[in-house]
Amino acid sequence: MTHDPAPERPDAAPGDPAPEASAPGGTTPEASEPEWWDDPALPWKHKPGRADIICMSAMSVVAVYALVMLPLRPIILGLAPHLLGSLGYRTGLVLVGALAAIGDRWWPLVLVIGSLMAMKFDWVYWWAGKLWGRNIMDVWSANKSPRTQRRWEKIWNGARRFETLAIFVTFLPIPIPAGVVYAALGAAGTKLWKFLAVCFGSALVTTAGYMALGYWIGEPAVQVVDTYGRYLWYLSIAILVGMFAVFWYRQRKGDAAGAAPRPRP
């Protein structure tokens, strides 16, 4: 059996390329644009569901809260140390302990509330690890130095191995990224009730320790804070200026990187 050749275009000149085949439906095949959620800067590898959106929104709230509290903490420490201690901040807890040494009776309430508030956002990072696994740490460490990435890798693996001890260490004044530890435990399958129970126990022990330190220091700590209160507004302003300076520097650095010439493909 022979096949008839395809009919020639009436206006085609000899040597002209043949027309491209059309995709089904009469459309030419084109590279599909990636969806908004298909971004390496996001922790999910699929279209996000309701839980993904809620968890990411909660993490954004945590970040905003931390930024807002950064310049406010010096002011609250000078004006309302019981409030700062009840929010779980160590400086406030130490000062409440010092006030207890000179007769203040509110320290038991601050001890309980401060312990609860010290772990107020821990579940968010546990949930992030449960939802996205290792992807969330990869997103956090994407712009970090290789040394930091290796350190976080060890922390991630160590948290999964030591679990309870790893949680307790995050409540100590040690520069360990608590979010990485909690996400690792969520990814490892640690039960939420167990995670929260260990967090509360660790928070209660360390909160009592900070207050005991303040009680041991006693009145000198109160006098230091009284003196510090005269300058707390200046410190808060300095923190705000520093925050804006860091933001401006990073923005400028990012613009310069975007404007840098790139090699042609």
Q: What tens digit of pLDDT does each residue of 108-124 get?
A: 999 999 999 999 999 99
Residue 184: which of 158, 145, 151 has the closest Cα?
158
Q: For position 2, what pLDDT does the model report?
A: 47
Cite the beta strand spans of the chain per DSSP E: none
Which of the pair, 40 or 181, is modelled with greater confidence? 181
Rounded CA separation 157/227 (Å): 45
Confidence band for 257, pLDDT divided at 50, 70 and 90:
very low
In the predicted model, what is the mean pLDDT of residues 25-45? 64
pLDDT at 15 over 60: no
Q: CA 50, 52, 55, 58 torsion: positive or negative? A: negative
Domain boundaries, the chain: 50-228
Q: What is the token pair recorded at 73?
A: 């903490």
In the predicted model, what is the mean pLDDT of residues 91-99? 93
In the predicted model, what is the mean pLDDT of residues 74-101? 92
Rounded CA separation 170/172 (Å): 5
Q: For position 44, what pLDDT does the model report?
A: 84
- Look up the pTM and report it: 0.76
pLDDT at 135 over 60: yes
Q: What is the token pair recorded at 139?
A: 């997103």
Percent above pLDDT 90 for the chain: 54
Confidence band for 265, pLDDT divided at 50, 70 and 90:
very low
Q: What tens digit of pLDDT does each residue of 44-67 get?
A: 888 889 999 999 999 999 999 998
Q: For position 260, what pLDDT does the model report?
A: 33
Residue 75: which of 242, 229, 262, 197 has the closest Cα?
229
Q: For position 8, what pLDDT does the model report?
A: 46
Q: What is the token pair recorded at 201?
A: 């126990």
Rounded CA separation 76/39 (Å): 40
Angle at which helix 219-228 crosses helix 50-79, to 10 degrees, equals: 100
Mapping DSSP onto H, E and C, the string for 118-174 reads HCCCHHHHHHHHHHHCHHHHHHHCCCCCHHHHHHHHHHHHHHHHHCHHHHHHHCCCC
Q: What tens digit of pLDDT does each residue of 181-239 get?
A: 999 999 999 999 999 999 999 999 999 999 999 999 888 877 777 666 666 666 667 77
Q: For position 129, what pLDDT does the model report?
A: 96
Q: For position 245, what pLDDT does the model report?
A: 76
